[in-house]
Structure 1
Amino acid sequence: MGKLGKRLTAAREAFEGKENLSVDEAVALVKANANAKFDETVEISMNLGIDPRHADQMVRGTVTLPAGTGKTVRVAVFARGAKADEAKEAGADIVGAEDLMETIQGGKIEFDRCIATPDMMPIVGRLGKVLGPRNLMPNPKVGTVTMDVKEAVEAAKGGQVQFKAEKKGIVQAGIGKASFDADKLAENVRAFVDAVSKAKPSGAKGTYMKKVTLTSTMGPGVTVDVVDATGN
């Protein structure tokens, strides 16, 4: 293994021996050590006491972060007629029907969120193998299959984050940029944790929220005190 760079070595030393910090302490530590030449994303990872292979233990949902994500979200909408016009007026980046399906089938996926009106789902359904693995498949449970296209597009553009538990019961998301004020990042962390807490499935047994970790794109991670993060 090659030598660690000076920046990463210094960051690891700063994090050494620190764990289960309060949200404010964890945010301050991550921000102070996000020294890459670009504005790093602050990311949260939550280990949950669930087995997502069981339908009654799946965790998924959306949350609108109070301070936004700091990321420009590109939105594609499957719609026709008046709803297509509504999507364009709301700021959708790509709007289409069969033509959009063919573009995606051709391997061109230039969007971060996909929304569809219900009547478009027979077309969108053909893209399951392409959009599904990328977590881009429209789903009524998270508000991306809807007739209210305007609200869905504006939510996606306004800091809404989708979350879904991975196979090992881990939920991950970007919750802001290292350049954000510390109090804004802390506010986003608490909002995200609260949303995941409220999404606790009926089949979850024992400890639901096992571990919460904060990191930046290029930095080490630090665990956050679960009690402080949940406000309990």
Structure 2
Amino acid sequence: MAKSGKRLAKVREGYNRESHYAVNDAVKIIKDGAAATKFDETVELAINLGVDPRHADQMVRGTVSLPHGTGKSLRVAVFAKGDKADEATSAGADLVGADDLAEKIQNGEIDFDRCIATPDMMAVVGKLGKILGPKGMMPNPKLGTVTPDVKTAIQAAKAGQIEFRVEKQGIIHAGVGKASFSSEALAENISAFIDAIFKAKPTGVKGTYMKKASVSSTMGPGVKLDIAGLG
């Protein structure tokens, strides 16, 4: 803990915590701070939006394919039968099933990060809403996770497509890469994610949409981003 505190103090000496930085400059600060750790830290974005997600016309939700992936190997579960189950297995799904997969989930066996389903399986999947919903893993046609084209959905998930959804406080959190990524890759991932948030702006939003954004590594302090001109 003492070493961690000293490292954070040293990182903070290298920038002004109250200043807002361009994406490229913020990435440099993050990478400099993470260089001293013994593991590959995740780089995370936190974005505060001027929305009230309690209102349906202010919900911000969607997917974005990061140009350089997340650096994390996603485990994908697919609800499918017959030929579609075979297609899912061939496409690299980690778990494929129907009622048997639903039973595992009901028993608390959730060994996956993304859940995809063919439309004909929604009668089975629908019963899992109370389990998968709070975890943000309920298949949804608007997110492309309820689809007959399971191959494309699996490939997108494996290639770095991530889902985002605004929380009750109007905040979106997302991992956008690893500290070991090049500065250019991290900057491009961050810019792609922010662009996706702007594109997902609901029609019911009044006033300032994106209030503030910051980037940090797992063990590092947050660096405020200059969002003027982004999006």
Normalising TM by the smaller chain, what interval?
Answer: over 0.9
User: Does 1:220 pair with 2:218?
Assistant: no
Q: How big is the shift at 1:172?
A: 1.0
Which secondary structure state, in structure 1, belongs to the residue aligned with residue 134 of structure 2?
Answer: helix
Conserved 8 A contact 1:23-1:228:
no
Conserved 8 A contact 1:23-1:229:
no
Unpaired runs of at least 5, structure 2: none
Which secondary structure state, in structure 2, belongs to the residue aligned with residue 44 of structure 1?
Answer: strand
- Looking at structure 2, the residues matched to 224 and 47 of structure 1 have their Cα atoms a distance apart, in angstroms, of 12
1:144 paired residue number:
145
Q: How big is the shift at 1:10?
A: 1.6
User: Does 1:9 pair with 2:12?
Assistant: no
1:95 paired residue number:
96
Q: How big is the shift at 1:19?
A: 2.2
2:41 paired residue number:
40
- Count of aligned pairs: 230
- Looking at structure 2, the residues matched to 19 and 165 of structure 1 have their Cα atoms a distance apart, in angstroms, of 25
- Looking at structure 2, the residues matched to 119 and 12 of structure 1 have their Cα atoms a distance apart, in angstroms, of 53
Which secondary structure state, in structure 2, belongs to the residue aligned with residue 24 of structure 1?
Answer: helix
- Looking at structure 2, the residues matched to 13 and 198 of structure 1 have their Cα atoms a distance apart, in angstroms, of 36
1:135 is matched by which residue type in structure 2? Answer: G
1:182 paired residue number:
183
Which secondary structure state, in structure 1, belongs to the residue aligned with residue 151 of structure 2?
Answer: helix
Give identity over the alignment, percent. Answer: 63
Larger mean Cα displacement after TM superposition, 12-21 or 202-211: 12-21
Q: TM-score, normalising length from structure 1? A: 0.95
- Looking at structure 2, the residues matched to 197 and 229 of structure 1 have their Cα atoms a distance apart, in angstroms, of 9
2:23 paired residue number:
23
Q: How big is the shift at 1:7?
A: 1.6
Which secondary structure state, in structure 1, belongs to the residue aligned with residue 46 of structure 2?
Answer: strand
1:115 paired residue number:
116
Q: How big is the shift at 1:3?
A: 9.3
Larger mean Cα displacement after TM superposition, 170-179 or 30-39: 30-39
Conserved 8 A contact 2:141-2:147:
yes
Unpaired runs of at least 5, structure 1: none
* Aligned positions of 1:122-137 closer than 5 A: 122-137=123-138
- Looking at structure 2, the residues matched to 167 and 108 of structure 1 have their Cα atoms a distance apart, in angstroms, of 27
- Looking at structure 1, the residues matched to 104 and 89 of structure 2 have their Cα atoms a distance apart, in angstroms, of 18
